[in-house]
Chains A and B, each alone.
Chain A
Amino acid sequence: MKLIYEQSQEGRRASSLPRNDLPVPEIPAELRRARPPRLPEIAEPELLRHFTKLSTRTFGIDTGFYPLGSCTMKHNPRVNERVVNLPGFRDLHPLQEDDGAQGALELMWRLQEILAEVAGLPAVSLQPAAGSQGELTGLMLMRAYFADLGEGETRRKVVIPDTAHGTNPASVTMGGYELTPVQTDPRGNIDVDDLRGKVDEGTAGLMLTNPSTLGLFDENIEEIGRIFHGAGSLMYYDGANLNAVCGISRPGDMGFDIVHFNLHKTFSQPHGGGGPGGGPIAVRDRLEPFLPVPAVVREDDAFRLDYDRPQSIGKVRGFGGPFGVFVRSYAYIRSYGPGLREMSEAAVLNANYLLARLKGAYELPFDRLCLHEFVLSARRLKREHGVTALDVAKRLMDYGFHPPTIYFPLIVPEALMIEPTETEAKETLDEFVAAMLEIARDAAESPELLKEAPHDRPVRRVDEVKAAKRGVLRYLFEDHPDLSTEPTAPRQLEAQKGA
């Protein structure tokens, strides 16, 4: 379909703005814009049709089942959209005086209290904009904490298991730390023997997702806690998989000192094709003085932003954080109340049901009960029939399902990482099982069905190599190339897709 720029006609426009007769001041010539930006020139009817058409070429959780592992694609209640658009929230300026923002501050304070309770840790900062920024903030807190103890120069290492999300090692580097990888044992837990030799007085901390990206709870978590705390190190909890354990096991009780939440996963902020998200962090008492400013504090019945935190690491984002995300997540949690536990129970039940139904047809590298997600391998299909996890993923599209996360975690070859979430009906899960079983059969009998999939999407498989090689990253107007005339080699990079 056409780009919006290709529909542009000079002199056409959708906007009407108030005009007045006031004189426009002169802009010095050297600062004045010489050539207008080539923004689309389009009337409103075609503008709406264009974006409506784009929406029909996009698959969301509203469209269908979206078992993208580690992304927790659950239902996004529409009441949350209604309340976030209340003028008192939507049209509130972030520099409004505290006495003019009492409702917003109370909501943030209440959310802080709730997150502290769910984490089992006393102090919360809502500021980080996403999980990965929560991670980086956590590492900054470690740095500030150890600097305060006079150990800032010596504690340089952060331990991360090989199952971790890529954000963990990337955050370690951005935070100025060095990475110490640790292996996974045959049951899918951290290899504790490998770990023991790697943790010492040079270790700042651990970053761990629990349950892991394999969907498995680390059975040695208490021993792991003793190892790190015994060395004076801190433990960071990547909350990407918190949907498994709300009200069932709290990170603070597991021994973690710093936790981030992914509000767009666990608490249902719609992800909008890539964001927004929210990555609040909760910490133990001894880390509270270092949290970002401002914090929301309550004094009697009034709420205010507190900037007076002399040991704070500073600010990691503008203002108090992504407030609209807080409104939606707060609304989501208040819909469940203490029944948040039922949310996690249903998520785990749904995942185990899928696992039980699928493990005969696909390899299961770690044969245990899972929590909110599980990882299958298409290794046998590849060995015996030459079809890959990517082929399985593409064929699922023909059944109207979004594929799971594939090629992650990295320690499982031909990985298919499946997370149904709690909001799916059993009939949907049964339809997905039927599709997966049929695909496994077709892999043996008609592998071309998988190889050539998808068949009925707006496009067939795309040439990722051409995209990277040609580097066409914006519309180039009269110089825009016609890539359809250039040869296509549909070699797909077997890269992680999801999480």
Chain B
Amino acid sequence: MWATNLKVVGIVLGTLALYTLIANKIPQVQSEVPQTLTLGANVTPEQLVAAGEKVFNGIGGCTTCHGLGTRAPNLLTDEKGTGPIGARCGKREPAKSCKQYLYESLDNPTAFVVPGYQPIMPVMTKQLSPPQVWSVIAFLESEGGTVDVTASDIPATPSTSTTSPTGSGGGGGGAGSGGFAGGSTDPKAIIAAAGCLACHKLDGQGQVIAPDLTHVGSRRDAESIRKKILDPASSIAKGYEKLAGIMPKTFGTMMNAAQLEALAQYLAAHK
């Protein structure tokens, strides 16, 4: 009986040892707690780039998607012949500098979605502090481009995420407590800033991934549209069941009440 007992113990310990060994042989990645990044008034571009690289490869979690070539565009290597991100960021959106474009990508990632990719990127200005955000921008600029981020771009104190690189509130198009597009109640500005056309088509513009909104008013009233924005899963348009869950649930919290009302009325008028 002792021989049987020993064999059983041997099997159990051997199996546990095998699994533990394999798990210790693979690359070991620990999820770190965000560290406070303090950058002085005299921070140099080199310091910003070095700090940004650390955030990019670490707490920012950027490498989870960027660089794989499937979930998100390559940033550090060539992306379909356009070069690394520093070389192409200034040409992505008309009238937007590289710095403005990169800030918008982090603050309001659905505002411009590179064709061929899904709008899955989280709002990084909610997860990273301003110094972290700006150091990442400096690092990305350094990848094939020129670093023009300076200490003056970084807010002295934590502010809302709508802070834009231009300092005039015009470039970010982000959403904070004031809502999209700096709190504008112009439905077209809200639609542009929220990136609705990355999936929906409206008045001949946008993509056809999600339902065409050109005649949405004939299918839904303002109340239904309002509800749909606040809770996208509340009703799914026929034929789009497979896309259930793709529309972010956060739009309702990213725009203010006046914007929500303006957008609902605007879309309801599209009979």
A binds B: no
Where the two chains meet, the residues of A that have a C-beta atom closer than 8 Å to any C-beta of B are: none
Where the two chains meet, the residues of B that have a C-beta atom closer than 8 Å to any C-beta of A are: none
